[in-house]
Amino acid sequence: MRREAAPAVALTIAGSDCGGGAGIQADLKAFRARGVHGTSAIAAITAQNTRGVSAVHTVPLAHLRAQIDAVFDDFPVAAVKTGMLARAAAVRLVARELRRRRPPWTVVDPVMIATSGARLLDPAALDALVGELIPLADVLTPNLPEAEALTGIAIRTRRDADAAAQALRAMGARAVLLKGGHARGTEVVDRYYDARGVLEIVHPRLRVEGHGTGCTLASALAAELAKGAAPRGAARRAIAYVHKALAAGYRPGGGDVVVLRH
């Protein structure tokens, strides 16, 4: 009996969400939905649900490194997505391992603050993120508040967004997908910046508060890159996927946030 070829492999290095809406759990759901084999290395364990984050436990660095080694030593990793790393030491470790392993694609989601407002990145880790991890990003996927925190630029207009993206690319990111969900208006404008210029991707704004949208977008993008899509096409497909999953979303808990239907 002829065995089908194995799917491409993607790795997420991020935090665990025991509520199943964001983090590692959302990443693995997105990987499966986009047709890749998902692997993971957990950097932090959060206690959270649809109402918020109540506790964060960081995984010992030796165990984080062991997880990364276990995946790379056995699987042909085609793309890596990084998410919540929580502290500077973990950011530096992940950057060091990515420089050593050199995966074909790296998507960096600079997770800083949860939808609930809980801080998910130690302020001391910002320098490590800017100096060590962002320069490894094939695509950096900040939302507007994250881009503002990284650059110090208040983003109110298209010109502000362009300036922030330029600053982020100057930090070493080869492309920036600046997510527009935090802006106002009846439409969401996501902007993809690379050496060719800017690509605007526009879709109607859904009047819901999503949980795990940023994690899912970065993971879907990594999955498309792992399968061989060109970066701009991967961004388009990932954004369309998140919009569809959010439109079909549901509220599994007592909070107001909507979890994506993968």
Q: How far apart are CA 122 and CA 188, in angstroms?
A: 29
- For position 186, what pLDDT does the model report? 83
Q: What is the mean pLDDT of residues 9-20?
A: 97
The dihedral of CA 171, 31, 212, 48: what is its sign?
negative
Choose between 116 and 83: higher pLDDT: 83
Characterize the bridge pairing of strands 52-58 and 37-49. antiparallel
Residues 6+ apart with CB under 8 A from 83: 12, 13, 14, 15, 23, 24, 27, 109, 111, 215, 218
Give the pLDDT confidence of 199-238 residue by residue, as tens digits.
999 989 988 889 999 999 999 999 999 999 999 999 999 9
Which pLDDT value is given to residue 61? 98
Average pLDDT, the chain: 94
CA–CA separation, 109 and 218 (whole Å)? 6
Classify 2 as helix, strand or coil.
coil
**Mean of pLDDT values over 171-185:** 89
Q: What is the pLDDT of residues 60-69, one digit of tens each?
A: 999 999 999 9
Decide if domain 9-259 falls under CATH 3.40.1190.20: yes
Q: Where are the domains of the chain?
A: 9-259
Where helices occur in the chain by DSSP H, the ranges are: 23-33, 61-72, 88-101, 126-128, 144-151, 158-170, 213-226, 231-247
Residue type, 13: I
pLDDT-derived band at 117 (thresholds 50, 70, 90) equals low
Q: Stretch 15-33: mean pLDDT, rounded?
A: 97
176 contacts: CB under 8 Å, gap ≥ 6: 139, 140, 141, 142, 165, 168, 169, 192, 193, 194
